Every structure is written in structure tokens, then in C-alpha cells.
Structure 1
Amino acid sequence: MTIPKTAAEAKQLVDKLWSYCHVLRHDGVSTIDYVDQLTLLLFLKMAQERAERKAFGGGKEIVPKHLSWQTLVDSDADELRHTYENILEQLGKKPDTALGLIYHGAESKIRNAATLKRLVVDLIDSVNWSGTGVDIKGDAYEALLEKGAEDIKSGAGQYFTPRSLIDVIVRCVKPRPDDTIVDPACGTGGFLLSAHDYIQREHGETLTKEEAQHLRNGGISGVELVHGTARLAQMNLLLHGIGEAGGKALIDVRDALARPPRADERASLVLANPPFGRKSGFTSIDEFGKVTREDVSYDRSDFWVTTSNKQLNFVQHIAKLLTVDGRAAVVVPDNVLFEGGAGETLRRKLLKECDVHTLLRLPTGIFYAGGVKANVLFFDAKRARPEKPWTDKLWVYDFRTGEHFTLRQNKLQAHHLDDFVRCYKPDDRHNRTETERFKAFTHDELVARDKANLDITWLRDPDLDDGENLQPPEVIAQEIVDDLQAALTEFASVAEALQLAKAEREGQVEDD
């Protein structure tokens, strides 16, 4: 197969930049830190290119000259570190702007001046990034993020949703130019970028000036708890031409669950893959090195149920974030579908007050977090209607049974989900037909199930049969490893909670 020129060029850029990551590891720079440092430096280079090229702003100065990329290039190795650290400090002074968000609190992790000089001159300055076009820069940058996600030890994988899955979800919900699109757990911004690309591809030639302005300055935005990840998301948006460097930051750094959405924060389309893990909370370390963790239950009057389960809280938050007739597609782990107590309350409320119309059951082996069993839940917000539930039928597509993917040898591709998109019928969702993998369940059938359990299966797994359908030993072994890793994570959380509870009891006794 012939690789398109743009894809080939993007791969060359990634290979060149990524090869240097291994060099920097000797200086103690981790994978995710390396991507972060590239983010900070790439923007300076591109800002200068745009200021110099008439096609990219007509000489408009984005970064002041005394803080520009050229000052780094002109600095010798002895003064380079000081120059770079000064640039980071000065550009980060207005964190409410896109530029300020990227550089606020940033610091150079590259301690060796000679190494920094090589990164600036040999790698980044040698490429005309603006000249390669937005698609090349976007592809290269996303590939870097994906490579970072592959490094499990770096923790980067928790921020990365496979682009193939994102694109399939976006094809189903069909973002429109007039949509206000929000991701309340945006990570590095994959959903936002895919939605923007879809609109440009499907509506680019007919976009009005007002629609283009809407999409560029506020129609697409996200919320992210971790500042370092928010920085990557904001840079990713700017690389794709979304927002202005000196304009308002389009990524809000905060806990999305902490308060109800304001009227001006409501969205007509929400796309999200909230972080995995059941408990909401935070960990702190005091001056003596003692680690403590506090679980958080959000006492929000707009929530249907109070719980410390952050996935349940995110589903509630997304439902409240939507405008009337707003659409949502959210990735949720299996426990959201079957967990009792607060989970049951949430599901019954969601089925009644929203149109929960589609559930895609995902296979294992597609996320960088091992052992994850996840689904995509599609639902629409509706006005209050106490006399009748809004969910008529939930259509379930089982893409898990008999499907096996790995992150390298058998990676999930968008075409693997073409049948799901055909069954979903994005252009005619109310005229669906059942297939072997696609079944409809009425509201009455759903609420009659024990705990309104939506973890529904009907296909027989061929792996359970004897004979030829048995999976290869390496696939079975990897699935066992993934399940064990997931179980160990759960046990570790329980052990940590028990230790903290014991410490709190002993502390109370001492205080008494």
C-alpha cells in the first residue's frame, strides 16, 4: 500500500523527534516530559514562522521579539538555559490566555545546555513547521502523544483515547458548525480535534463567517484537571488552528465535577472519555513525606445521586451539561452499567429523563490502561416529561464477543467499526434494523432487569467452544495479564483506603 505523502512526511518527523527522546532519557527526562518540552518549544518556532510569513498572519507578532524563538537560536550553549527559563516565566504570566495557559508554571526539564541546544537547532529549527501544513503538524503531534501513551511507566496512557475509536464516535454524532462542543475530561484534546476536523471536512466549503468565528473562539472547548495535560490540549488546538494565542484559553483547568455548569457553559454536543478508576479524590504529601488520600463525594443539588464513584458523577455531570436536545457520547467502564446502589439510581434516572438510544460494547486490548472493559454510551438530553420516560429503545451493539485486539500486533482501526456505523445509521437513527450483533431492548425490558442492569450480552463467545476457534496462547496470556493488572489496581486502592482508615483511627486515639 502506498503511504500518502502527508502521512509519510508526518512519520518522518515523528521518527526524527522521537529518536531524540531516548537521548534525553539519559538526562532524566521522561517520555511525557519530553512531549511536554516539545510542546513548549514547537509553539515558539511556529509563532515565529507565522509572524514572518504573510500567509500566516501578515507579520502579526504572536510572541514578543525578546521572547521569541530566534532568541533561543541565537543564544550560545552557556546562556541558552537561562534564556529559555526566562521565556517560560515571562510567557506564562497571563494564564487566562491560550499562550499563558501553555507556559504558565512551565519549567525546563532539560538540564544539559548542550542537549537543549541540539534539540533547538538540530531538530526543531531545521523544520519549517508552518510550511508543512496544519494536517502534517497535527498528525505528527498526535503520533508523538500516542508514542508517549505507549510508555505505560510514564502514565501518559491515561490521557490517550485511540484516535480510531474517537473518529468512529464522531462519525456517529455528526458535529455541526452551530454546535457548542465540550469535553469535560479532555486529556490532550482528541475528541475536540476530531469534531473540528469532521466539521471542516463536511461543512468547510459552506461555513459562514459567523460559524467559523464560533468554532474558532469558543464553540469548541474542554475542561482538564491536570495542568500539564491541559497545556498539551491547548497546544494541540492551536496546532490545528483552533483559537488564538493571545485570545481566551479554550481549555479550562479545573475539576469539572466541582460545581454545576453555568448557563454559558452548556453544550449541544458532549464527547468524553472520563478517567478510569472508581473513586474521586486527591492525594497529598506533607512536609514529612506522609501520603494521604481523601475521597470526594460531590454534593451537587443538580445530581440525581450522591456518590464518590467518579464515572457515575461524570455521567450525571454530562447529562446536566447538555442543552435540551443536546447529544452526548461518553466512554464508560462496565461497572457503570451494572453497579448497584448509586449506579442503579443513576441508570433509572438516565433512562427516564434522557433518550439513551445506543450502547457500543468495546473489546479489550484497545486502551493503554490494561484490563479495561469499556463501552460507549450515546444519549440525548430532553426537557422534563414526568408522565413518560424518554428512552424508548436502547440499541446495543456487541463488538466485544469474539473480538480480540492488541496495542501493537492487532491494533483497532476505524474500519473495524464500519459495521457499527452502518447499524447506527447516523443519517436515519430512527429507522434501524436488528442484526446478529445489534439488538434493541425496550425501556420496560431494561427497568425490569435486576438493578436496571445494562450489561447485556446474548452472543456466544466462540472462544468458549472447543476446537479451531480457540485463541492463540499469546492472546489468552495477554488477556489474563490485563485482567490481573486491573484486579491488582482495585486491590491496591482497597489496601490504600484501609491503611488510611487505620491511620485516621490511630490519629484520633492519639488526639484523645
Structure 2
Amino acid sequence: MSNESATIVQKLWNFCNVLRDDGVSYGDYVEQLTYLLFLKLADEQTKPPFNKPSTIPADLDWESLRKESGTALEDQYVKILRELSNAQGLLGVIFRKSQNRIQTPANLQRLIHLINAENWSGMTADIKGTIYEGLLQKNAEDTKSGAGQYFTPRALIKAMVTVMHPEPMQTICDPACGTGGFFLAAHDYISENYGSTMPRAQKEFLRFNTFAGTDIVDNVVRLCVMNLYLHGIGGTESPITTDDSLSRDTGTRYDVVLTNPPFGNRSSITITADGGKRSNTSLTYERDDFWATTSNKQFNFLQHIKTILKTDGRAAVVLPDNVLFERGAGETIRQQLLKQFDVHTLLRLPTGIFYAQGVKANVLFFDKRPAREEPWTQKLWIYDLRTNKNFTLKTNPLQDTDLQDFITVYNPENREARVETDQFRAYTYNELIEREHVNLDIFWQKEDSLEDAADLPTPDVLAAEITKNLESALGLFQNIQAELDSKN
């Protein structure tokens, strides 16, 4: 982050501490910043050198807000939020269900002055985007807000995009898009690697048609849309929608899927696959395209992703450990995925890199292939970045350099020429399918820290890991109970 960007982020964030006394949470603050910053940017676009017609009615624009004070300011702000929440297109997405969280007019006026002091349109998209990303990261660091679940480590995102090699004119989807980190990294990758040779049509496609995202949380969609907008992605229509990705197959297919679906053991709705057991809950999804019925969100996202990929489409998905070993529906899904798709790479991620402590996760890479009798997976290459690795968000965060060896051995230019190393091993389809319950939770390196109590993780990390293990065990028992119930 540049000094200019860091200074503005710090200035805006310092004021958040003032608003905390007014009952405004970190998440609420970023939300209010989003509304005001959008109004300010729209106002700047109507002035030289842009001189564009305003996209916001005169009685709801930035100037109508800036000239007021006291109770009149609060009333005008509430009016703007209420009326713009009913707008169409990008405006409607940004202001959907918007509410004023700043109850003291003097604080609202001070925040307006802070934003008004900057010439946002005079900054490059990189600077504006970096400032907003900085605010999102600070929000994610507030563990009490829970915002960290929507924030994937940027070093991991960058590495995933690098090995996936997205190209111009390809469509890229994230069905659980959070704040849009995968889209920004893919946009940067395509711009940096093809930008100088891309004709106008490809540049316009990159801006307006490449990305499609969904998230179930209104406020997260708002943050994502604003994040893309500040980075110069999208137009008057939003590429991001508020919806439950798992509710249906929309019929749209994509070249690339990059995603980190929300972690959690159980969904409140049981997905019903063709021939699967129907839930007693009144809310059920009819998904005949799924291989198995399960209430596990990660398995359902995995099945959804296999559906929305084009033939020869490619996916990189962050998944928790239980997806690799859970029985019942999990075993069925792993069998079918290995057979019908080319599941070629598994990256075992270290702990300590996510804002939720104790998370044990992986990145699974697979390609969709045409239907045939023979299994498509020939070898699954597993890279162990977990054993004997110790990361923490504050003192030893995951860096780009930590993933450089993985990028090298992944060999995106020629996967057939891969070579085994101490951290990178290949397992054939037959070896995998013959493992008990098709368990893909595979390690071969010895954990040195287990022999030295001084090297053990901190108690809070250990407690979080124990909790996760107990939750996974409970999930297994629930599956067994469901199987027994179905036989009665």
C-alpha cells in the first residue's frame, strides 16, 4: 500500500474510533463510508474534466447532503438512503436495505467533511481500490464483527489466480464472492499479462462481462460491488447479485470458478438430490444435478460448482478438511468428482492464515471434462504447506513468497511435466479410490512440533482446533444417524 493510500486509510479509520462511542461498529462504519463515498464519486463525475450527467437525482445527491447540518442533515441522509434503496441497477445494489447507523448529526457531518476533503476521482483506480481494500481488511481484523469470514488472505488468492492462468474473454464466477478478492486478483492478472496486447473489445469484456458473483448477505454484496466499482470494474449494472447460490441452477456456465465458500458444518436447509432422502424441513432445494443429498454447505457448494462449469472449465475451491474425509454423502461426492472430473491438485493450507482461528483448509483444483466411462482423474498431486509451518495473522502472516514454491511445482504451463518433491507427491486414481471411504486427508511428512511442547500452538489456537475437530466428529455422527433413520 502506498504512503498516500495508507494515510487516507488511517485517517478514515481513526475516525471510526470516535464513532464507536456512538454505538457504530466497524462493519457499520465501512457500510456508511460506502454510501457516502459513492455519493461523492458520483458528484465528482458531474464536474470538470468529466462533465457527465448525474446518475443521482438532484435532491438526493452529494451537494444536497453537504449543505445541511444538525437534524436537517440526518433527515436528508435518511431520505437519500430510503429512496436510493429502491433504485435500479448498480445504485439499487449499493443502497439496498440501507439505513443510517450514525445517530449523532455532528459525527455524520464530520465524516462527510473527511470524505469531501479528498479528490477521489483524481486518484487512479489502483489507489482508490487500495484504500477501500485497506478498510475492508481492517474490518476483517475485528474478530468480534465476524467480517473475517468474508476475507480470504490476499497472498493465497494471488497464488490461486496465478496457477489458474485466467485469459481474456473467459468468464469467471465466484458463487460465494464475499468482498470480491478473487475478481480483483483475476482482473489484475489479466491486465498485467495481456493488457498491452488486448484489443478494445477484450478490454471492454474484461470490465463489463468477465465477472459474475453471488453472495447471500446484502451488506457483503454491497461491499463487493463498491470494491469492484472503485477498481474500475463493472458499469451501470452490477455484476454481483444477492442470492443463495445453492437454491437453483441458473443455467449459466463459466470458464473459471474461483471461490472460498463459507465454512460451517451444517446448512439450515437439506439439499435434495435426485433419488435422495427428502428433508422434513419445509424449505428444500430441488437439485437433480447433485450427486448426493447433504446438509453440509461445503459439499453442496462443491456440487454446485461442478454444475456451473463449462466443459473444460476449471475450478479452484477453498475447502475445509472434513470435505476430504467425511463419510456418507461425502464419500459419494468424492467418488463421482474423481471419476467425472480431472481432480489434479490439492494444496494443504497451514493453520493461522484465516481470521477464524483453528481453521484447517485446503485448495482443491479440478477441471470439467466430457462424459465418458473411464475416470478422468489420473493423478492427484498433493502439496503439503501445513506440516511444520507456523503462521499467525499478526506476527507471521502468509506472504507471496510462502507460496512461490507451490506455484513453481504446480507448473501451470505444463502439468504433465511435474516432478515430486518432499512437499509435493502424486497419488494415482486407483490408489485414491481404494482408500477407505475415498479418504483424501493425506499427509506423509512428520510434524516436528509434536515432539516439542515448546513449539505447540498457543492455547487459543489449540482450543479452536479442538472445537473444529469435535464439530467434524459430530457431523460424522449426524450422518450415521441419518443413514440409520433412512433404513427405519
TM-score (norm: length of structure 2): 0.92
| 1:354 equivalenced with 2:345 (yes/no) | no
Partner residue of 2:399? 413
| 1:377 equivalenced with 2:358 (yes/no) | no
| 1:142 equivalenced with 2:133 (yes/no) | yes
In 1, distance between residues paired with 2:308 and 2:263?
A: 20
The structural deviation recorded for 1:70 is: 1.7
Partner residue of 1:31? 26
Matches within 5 A, 1:70-149: 70-95=63-88, 97-121=89-113, 123-149=114-140
1:284-320 per-position Cα deviation (integer Å, ceiling 9, x unaligned): xxxxxxxxx9696643101111111110000010011
Partner residue of 2:482? none
In 2, distance between residues paired with 1:294 and 1:153?
A: 31
Asked if structure 1 preserves the Cα contact closer than 8 Å seen for 2:317 and 2:365, the reply is yes
Change (3 A) 1:465 1:418: same
Picking from 237, 256, 267, the partner of 2:228 is 237
Asked if structure 2 preserves the Cα contact closer than 8 Å seen for 1:360 and 1:396, the reply is yes
Asked if structure 2 preserves the Cα contact closer than 8 Å seen for 1:160 and 1:188, the reply is yes
In 2, distance between residues paired with 1:78 and 1:276?
A: 43
Partner residue of 2:45? 50
Partner residue of 1:451? 437
In 2, distance between residues paired with 1:294 and 1:31?
A: 36
| 1:18 equivalenced with 2:13 (yes/no) | yes
| 1:433 equivalenced with 2:424 (yes/no) | no
Give 2:112's aligned amino acid. V
Partner residue of 1:404? 390
1:111-136 per-position Cα deviation (integer Å, ceiling 9, x unaligned): 11011000001x11111112121111
Q: Secondary structure at the match of 2:161?
A: helix
Give 1:46's aligned amino acid. L
In 1, distance between residues paired with 2:470 and 2:107?
A: 39
Change (3 A) 1:295 1:461: farther
Matches within 5 A, 1:283-294: none
In 1, distance between residues paired with 2:420 and 2:447?
A: 19
The structural deviation recorded for 1:491 is: 9.5
Q: Secondary structure at the match of 1:51?
A: coil
In 1, distance between residues paired with 2:294 and 2:128?
A: 42
Change (3 A) 1:11 1:61: same
In 2, distance between residues paired with 1:256 and 1:173?
A: 23
In 1, distance between residues paired with 2:319 and 2:26?
A: 27
Give 2:57's aligned amino acid. P
The structural deviation recorded for 1:465 is: 3.5
- Runs of 5+ unmatched residues, structure 2: 270-279, 479-488
In 1, distance between residues paired with 2:53 and 2:438?
A: 58
Give 2:161's aligned amino acid. V
Change (3 A) 1:169 1:207: same
In 2, distance between residues paired with 1:361 and 1:88?
A: 44
Give 1:241's aligned amino acid. G
In 2, distance between residues paired with 1:58 and 1:325?
A: 45
Q: Secondary structure at the match of 2:356?
A: coil
Picking from 247, 250, 253, the partner of 2:242 is 253
In 2, distance between residues paired with 1:8 and 1:84?
A: 32
Matches within 5 A, 1:53-64: 53-54=48-49, 57-64=50-57
The structural deviation recorded for 1:197 is: 1.3
Partner residue of 1:442? 428
The structural deviation recorded for 1:448 is: 0.7
In 2, distance between residues paired with 1:139 and 1:482?
A: 32
In 2, distance between residues paired with 1:12 and 1:481?
A: 37
In 1, distance between residues paired with 2:52 and 2:190?
A: 29
Q: Secondary structure at the match of 2:366?
A: strand
In 1, distance between residues paired with 2:302 and 2:94?
A: 29
Asked if structure 1 preserves the Cα contact closer than 8 Å seen for 2:265 and 2:475, the reply is no
- Runs of 5+ unmatched residues, structure 1: 1-5, 283-292, 498-512
Picking from 443, 454, 464, the partner of 1:482 is 464
The structural deviation recorded for 1:74 is: 1.2
The structural deviation recorded for 1:464 is: 2.7
Partner residue of 1:287? none
In 2, distance between residues paired with 1:358 and 1:491?
A: 26
Give 1:169's aligned amino acid. M
The structural deviation recorded for 1:477 is: 2.8
The structural deviation recorded for 1:487 is: 5.5
Partner residue of 2:4? 9
Q: Secondary structure at the match of 1:72?
A: helix
Partner residue of 1:509? none
Partner residue of 1:501? none
Change (3 A) 1:326 1:76: same
Give 1:22's aligned amino acid. N
Change (3 A) 1:489 1:395: closer
Matches within 5 A, 1:92-241: 92-95=85-88, 97-121=89-113, 123-241=114-232
The structural deviation recorded for 1:341 is: 0.6
Q: Secondary structure at the match of 1:356?
A: strand
The structural deviation recorded for 1:489 is: 6.6
**Aligned-pair Cα RMSD in Å:** 2.1
The structural deviation recorded for 1:261 is: 3.0
Asked if structure 2 preserves the Cα contact closer than 8 Å seen for 1:295 and 1:308, the reply is no
In 2, distance between residues paired with 1:347 and 1:208?
A: 42
In 2, distance between residues paired with 1:487 and 1:448?
A: 25
Partner residue of 1:506? none
Asked if structure 2 preserves the Cα contact closer than 8 Å seen for 1:355 and 1:390, the reply is yes
In 2, distance between residues paired with 1:271 and 1:348?
A: 22
Give 2:99's aligned amino acid. E
State, as a whole percentage, how many aligned pairs show the same letter. Answer: 49
Structure 1 runs of 4+ off > 6 angstroms? 293-296, 488-494
1:256-300 per-position Cα deviation (integer Å, ceiling 9, x unaligned): 0011131xx211000000000021127xxxxxxxxxx96966431
Asked if structure 2 preserves the Cα contact closer than 8 Å seen for 1:137 and 1:239, the reply is yes
In 2, distance between residues paired with 1:376 and 1:398?
A: 11
Partner residue of 1:324? 311
